[in-house]
Structure 1
Amino acid sequence: MTRPLIIGHRGAPGYRPEHTRSSYELAIQMGVDAVEPDVVVSRDGVLVIRHENELSTTTDVADRPEFADRRTTRRIDGLEHVGWFTEDFTWDELARLRCRERIPGIRPDSAAFDDEEPPLRLRDLLVLLDEHRAGGRDVIPVVEIKHATYFASQGWDLAALLDDELRAAGWRGRRVVIESFELTVLRQLRARVARADLVFLLEMEGAPVDQVAVLGSDARGYADWLRPDGVELLAAEVHGISLDKTVVLAPDADGRATGPAAVVAQAQERGLAVFAWTCRPENAFLIPEFRTGGLAEYGNWRGEWGVLRRAGLDGVFVDHPDLGVAYFA
C-alpha cells in the first residue's frame, strides 16, 4: 500500500495559528506533500487566505477601534453571522490585522503565537511554495474555495479570480488541487484550469448550497452523493472526492468505528482519488471510541487514524504534520 498524500491542513495549526506564514513554513519543514489554503475575497478582489470570511475568530479585528463600524450581519449559506467580513475590507486594511489561534482552549500553545503575523494572500503562499521549490521541496497547493455562491451574489466570480491568480503567479500549468463543497464553481474551473485536479468536498449532512439555491429542498444532499449512483455521477464531473473522516470511520450508535466505509473503494474503482479530513489527535476531535481524557488532551489518535490508514486513502489532511508524516509513512 502506498502512503497517502500528506496535506498540511491550513499549514500546521496544531502548533501555530492557522493560515499564517509560520504555520505553512512549519508544515513544509515537517515534511508534508501539500498544504491547504482556504480562499475568500476582499473588497478589492484579492484572494485572501482565511478559513472563513468572518474575521473575529482568527484575527484581532474586534480589538481595533478603527474598524469598529465594520461590524455587521451577513447571511451566508443560509445562516446569519455577526462580525467583520473580508469583503468589507481592502487588502491593505486586512494586512494591518494580526492572526490568532481559532480554538485557544484546545490549543493554548498555538495561541502563544497570537498577534505576531498578518494574514496572507493566496499569491503570498504561491511565492512561498516557489521559494521552497527552488530549494528542492516541491509542495502542492490544495486550494479550498469558500462560499462561492455567496460571493457570486456579491458580484465576485471566484473561478475567474482563481484562474487569474494562478496565471499571474505562473502556476496555471503546474499541479494544483482545487476543492469546494459546491459543484458549480468546480465546473466553472474545469472549463478554465485544464490541469487542476478538482475535488468535491463531502460530509454526511446537508446539501451543497449552490444546488439548494437553485433546487431548494429538491437538491441532492451530500449523503446522496455518497451512494454508488452519486459516486458514478461524480466520476464524470471531478477528479476526486474529499470526505469528512467520520464518513470513512462510519461510527455506530455507540461511537465505535465500523469502517473503512465502502464508499472509499467504490470511488477509487471509478477512478476518483479519495481524501479525508481532518486528522487531529485531541480528544475534542476524535470519535467516542478513541477518546481517553480531557478535550485538549491527546486521545487514542493512532487507533482512529489506523482505520483511515486501512482505507487506502489517496490523501489525508492533518493539523499536526509531524504526526501525520510519521504515522502514515
Structure 2
Amino acid sequence: MRFPALCTALALSPSLAFAVGSTSSEVPTTGLDYGPRPAYLIEKLPEGALKTKLQSCAGQAPKRSLFSIGHRGAPLMFPEHTVESNVAAAGMGAGILECDVTFTKDLELVCRHAQNDLHTTTNILTSDFAHTCKTPFIAATDDTPATAECRTSEITLAEFRTLKPKMDSADKTAKTAAAYLGGIAPYRTDLFTDGAQQMTHAESIELFRALGAKFTPELKSPSVEMPFNGFSQADYAQKMIDEYKAAGVPASDVWAQSFNLDDVLYWIGNEPEFGKQAVFLDASYKIDGFDHTNPETFPHDFVDLKSKGVNFIAPPMWMLVTTEQDKIAPSAWAIAAQDAGLEIITWTLERSGPLASGGGWYFQSVKDVTTDDSMYYQLLDVLAQDVKIKGMFSDWPATVTYYANCMGL
C-alpha cells in the first residue's frame, strides 16, 4: 500500500481494515469515532425537541453515512487534501470523500482546491520551486498586503511531490516568505501538519476505496487559458472520469462536481452513467442582482436543467434558507429546486469557526439568528428535514455523521 499513514490507520481501526480489498459499496460500521465535538455542540442547543432528540442518541454506535461528506477531508484541523485529512474524515464516518481536481505542468491530475493555491497550502514559497510562482512573494507595506500566486500548472508532478502541505493560510502582514506561510485562523491548528502527504487524483481513488468511502471529485476551473499545451477542457473533464474507469470504480459510487455547467453537460452527454450523478455547483451568488429569495433573479431555469439531465445541484448553505419571524425556513431558491425534482447537496458546515459574531459568509442569510455554535445543528436540522438535502459537506464530518446516524439518514 502506497501510504504509510493509511497503513497505521488500518492497523488501529477494525472498520478501515475491513474496507481494504472490499468494494466501496460495502460500508464498515465499527471502529468509528465521533470525538467530543458533537456533544459539545448539542449541549449549546436551546431546550427543545432537537436537543432532546440528539441527546437521546448519545450512546449510539457510529456508522458511516453517505449524508456526511468530507470537504477536502477534515480541514478544520488537518491540512486539506492530504492522506491524513481524509483518514480522519473517514474515521468520523464520512461516507463520501472529496478530491478537488486540477492539473500540473505535465498534465497529471492532483488533489488541490485551486490550481493557484500552492502559496497558501504548501511551503512552495520557501522551497526550491519558489521561482516558478506566477507572482513571486511580495512583502507587505504600510499600504499593501503581502501577496503571491503559485500554480500547479507551473510545476511537474515530480516537483509537486517535493512540496510540504500545510494548513491553508497566509499572513498578509508578512515581510518575508517564511512569515507569509503563517496566518492560521485561531480556531484551527497546525498540530497535524508534520509529514502530511499530498495525493494525485488516482492516489485519492486508491485511498478512499481502502477507507470504505465513495467519491465526489470536483473539476476545478483552470487558472490558465484552455487549451493548455493542447489539453482542452473536454480532455480535462474526460481524464478525470477515465481515472475512475481505470480503477474499476462503478459510476454509481461517483458524484463528479463542477461549477462549470458545460462540464456537467459534457459528462451527461459523453459519460452518461457518471452523468446521472454529476453535481452542478451553483455559483449564482456571484451574479449582480441575485437574490436567493426572489425567483425573478435566478439565472438558471431549474426545470430546464432537469430536462437536460442534471439531477444534482449544490449551492452554499445560505442560499437554501432565509428567516421568517426569527425562524430558519427554506428559501425560494430551495423550493424552486425541489419543485423541479433536483436533488440538493450543500456546503460547507464547520468552515466558519465560532459563530458568536454571526457566522460570516456561510451563515449570511441567517446571521440575525446566529448567536452561538448551536446554530451548526439548528441549521443542519432545517436543511435536512425541510430542504431535504441529500448530503452535507463538512470540514469536520463527525458533526454531520452524528446527526445523520441519530436521524436515520
TM-score range with shorter-chain normalisation? 0.7 to 0.9
- What secondary structure sits across from 2:121 in the alignment? coil
Q: Would the aligned equivalents of 2:66 and 2:94 in 1 still touch at CA under 8 Å? A: no
Structure 2 distance, partners of 1:44, 1:18, is: 23
Gaps of at least 5 residues in structure 2 are 1-64, 137-146, 170-183
- Between the aligned partners of 2:339 and 2:374, the Cα distance in structure 1 is 33
In structure 1, the residue matched to 2:376 is 301
Once the two structures are superposed, the pairs formed by residues 99-178 of structure 1 within 5 Å of their partners are: 99-103=165-169, 104-109=184-189, 111-132=190-211, 137=212, 139-148=213-222, 150=224, 152-154=226-228, 155-156=230-231, 157-171=235-249, 173-178=251-256
Partners in 2 of 1:98 and 1:225 — Cα distance? 47
Q: In the alignment, is the contact (CA less than 8 A) between 1:43 and 1:86 conserved in 2?
A: yes
Partner of 2:159: 93
Q: Is the contact between residue 158 and residue 185 of structure 1 (CA under 8 Å) also seen in structure 2?
A: no
In structure 2, what is the Cα distance between the partners aligned to 1:40 and 1:265?
33
5 Å-filtered alignment, 1:1-329, equals 5-54=67-116, 55-64=118-127, 66-73=128-135, 82-103=148-169, 104-109=184-189, 111-132=190-211, 137=212, 139-148=213-222, 150=224, 152-154=226-228, 155-156=230-231, 157-171=235-249, 173-196=251-274, 197-206=277-286, 227=298, 230-237=301-308, 238-250=310-322, 258-280=328-350, 282=353, 283=355, 284-285=359-360, 286-287=363-364, 288-292=367-371, 298=373, 300-310=375-385, 311-329=387-405
Cα distance per residue 1:101-130 (max 9 Å; x no partner): 114214433x22224223211111110122
SS at match of 2:279: strand
Q: Go from structure 1 to structure 2 and tell me whether the alpha carbon gap of 1:225 and 1:95 turns closer, same or farther (over 3 Å shift).
A: farther
Identity percentage of aligned residues: 25
Range that drifts further, 33-42 or 168-177: 168-177
| Residue 39 to residue 290, structure 1, CA distance change in 2 (3 Å) | farther
**Whole-Å separation in 1 of the counterparts to 2:165 and 2:153:** 17
| 1:62–1:324 Cα change, 3 Å | same
Using the size of structure 1 for normalisation, the TM-score is 0.80
Matched-pair contact (CA < 8 Å) for 1:148–1:158:
no
Contact 1:242 1:274 in 2 (8 A): yes
Residue 96 (structure 1) shift: 0.8
Which structure has the highest strand share of the two?
1
TM-score (norm 2): 0.65
Contact 1:8 1:34 in 2 (8 A): yes
* Structure of greater Rg: 2
Say how many residue pairs are matched: 297
Q: Which secondary structure does the structure 2 equivalent of 1:33 belong to?
A: strand
Deviation (angstroms), 1:203:
3.4
In the alignment, structure 1 segments of 5+ residues that lack a partner are 75-80, 208-216
The two structures, once aligned, show a CA RMSD in angstroms of 3.0
